[in-house]
A and B are shown apart, each in its own frame.
Chain A
């Protein structure tokens, strides 16, 4: 009887904790989105998303942040694609080609986790050093390279985590059909983990498009539309930063409008990729 009350109490205790933490997360998310939209929506106009900054934009005059929107999409899109091109083969390689070398694999995982933990400002500084070394100017390309370095460990480890859950039976099935390692990787493991891979891509894209510190020294900033990889480009995080630092209410509200746009882009990308992932989810072997 006593034990039973104890078990009950324990259950209630953990339920309360679970409920509280869910509430904290939900409330935080709600507050962030609410404050962004509350302050930003009134300033959000068609001009904001369809025009580049005109003279005096940062003092509350005409214009928009199309340059930053496009710049950010180029930057995040470019670095996500580049990371995918490097990261997917790497994650598959870890789990197929060298999976039996457990120590090596663990060392690589540890190393990637370490890189994951480094703050993006350090990548920014490193990217800047690299730029000087390579003789690059602040540009979209320099930004893409830096952001790729920054999101690559995130993407690889996120993919790795899903790929490593594949049961060894599927690997055996694939090999016993006579598949090579790359057929196993790209025709079977890849398909099996597409939903997880999409999540990894999304996570990386979110980090890439939202990070200010890594692009601070590397992409530069301009009011013009980005037209080539070697030109500097504006980005949304920096656009928000600059507008927020101006002591004019009107401009600060536009910063929130810009943040709303950023959130909106991430939302659209999330929804699209979910739809895409669902198409493949049904094929997954449990």
Chain B
């Protein structure tokens, strides 16, 4: 079955000093689906995710070769500025980092950065994004409070709203629920399922049950390699590789 590919990773290798962290990665990420990157801790999931929007630039010790195509454009040799490429992708990190400003301004920053901050109607648009992540009712009376006063679960949703305000096409999430309580985690998962209609979503997780709940497509990694990838039910129910089978049984760490 042929589907629209949003992100294509080709022969990606990443080294830190002599360590070979990502080994010849080839991955296709389909549009409007939730792709889950799973695998035991330390296998390179975060590093792969950061390569997608070139946060690897921040770590000069990382040497990268290969290609990552987003809509056919190589992020390592973009025609546009890297900041424009990054705006195509919202990032949720393992623990939320709201900006040091109030709740409303956090979302407005997203609008502003994408050049869509016309004064008029800004409140309306902030509201819309807060609604989208189910945060509006909780914060509508305290929009001027510092974002740091929210609970961690609320902060993570605020970060999602802020990212959506930039108007990306892709959402990258690195174990976005690992710092959250079960209820907040459930809300985030549910939002992803709602959002996939309009966005391409890539979620890193090491929680197998989470992968089962939300994945349309799975990339299984082990020790820096992609072992297996494909539609979720195929990979989960009928894995081809021994390592995948072992991992699914809970015997591979």
Contacts and interface: CB of A to CB of B under 8 A. Distances in A.
Nearest to B98: A285
A173 B93 contact: yes
Contact of A178 (B59, B148, B166): B166
Interface stretch (B25-33, B107-115, B117-125): B107-115
Interface of A: 100-102, 167-180, 183, 187-188, 191-192, 280, 282-286
Given A175-B53, A179-B113, A285-B97, 19 more contacts: A169-B95, A169-B97, A172-B93, A174-B99, A175-B55, A175-B57, A175-B83, A177-B87, A178-B83, A178-B84, A178-B113, A178-B114, A183-B113, A188-B99, A191-B99, A280-B100, A283-B100, A283-B146, A285-B98
B89 A176 contact: yes
Nearest to B93: A169
Contacts of A176: 53, 55, 86, 89-91, 163, 172
B246 interface: no
Contacts of B58: 100, 168, 171-172, 175
Nearest to A187: B109
Chain A interface mostly: helix
Nearest to B86: A178
Given A101-B60, A176-B53, A286 B93 contact: no
A166 B226 CA distance: 34
Nearest to A171: B58
Given A173-B99, A191-B100, A282 B148 contact: yes
A192 B100 contact: yes
Contacts of B99: 170, 173-174, 188, 191, 285
B157 interface: no
Contacts of B109: 177, 187
Given A177-B163, A192-B100, A282 B146 contact: yes
Contact of A284 (B53, B60, B148): B148
Contacts of A183: 113
Contact of A173 (B87, B91, B102, B148): B91
A9 B138 CA distance: 52
B16 interface: no
B162 interface: yes
B159 interface: yes
A177 B97 contact: no
A225 to B, nearest CB: 42
Given A177-B109, A282-B146, A172 B97 contact: yes
B101 interface: yes
The 9 tightest CB contacts between A and B, nearest first, are: A178-B87, A176-B91, A100-B60, A173-B97, A192-B100, A178-B86, A283-B146, A283-B100, A178-B83
A283 B101 CA distance: 5
Given A169-B97, A188-B100, A285-B100, A177 B146 contact: no
Given A179-B83, A191-B101, A286-B148, A100 B59 contact: yes
B138 to A, nearest CB: 19
Interface in B137-158: 146-149
A1 B109 CA distance: 60
Nearest to B99: A188
Contacts of B60: 100-102
A94 B94 CA distance: 27
Contacts of B163: 176-177
Contacts of B147: 283, 285
Nearest to A282: B146
Contacts of B172: 176
7 contacts: A172-B50, A177-B90, A178-B84, A180-B83, A283-B100, A285-B147, A286-B148
A169 B86 CA distance: 16
B93 A283 contact: no
Q: Which of B57, B84, B97 has the most CB of A within 10 A?
A: B97
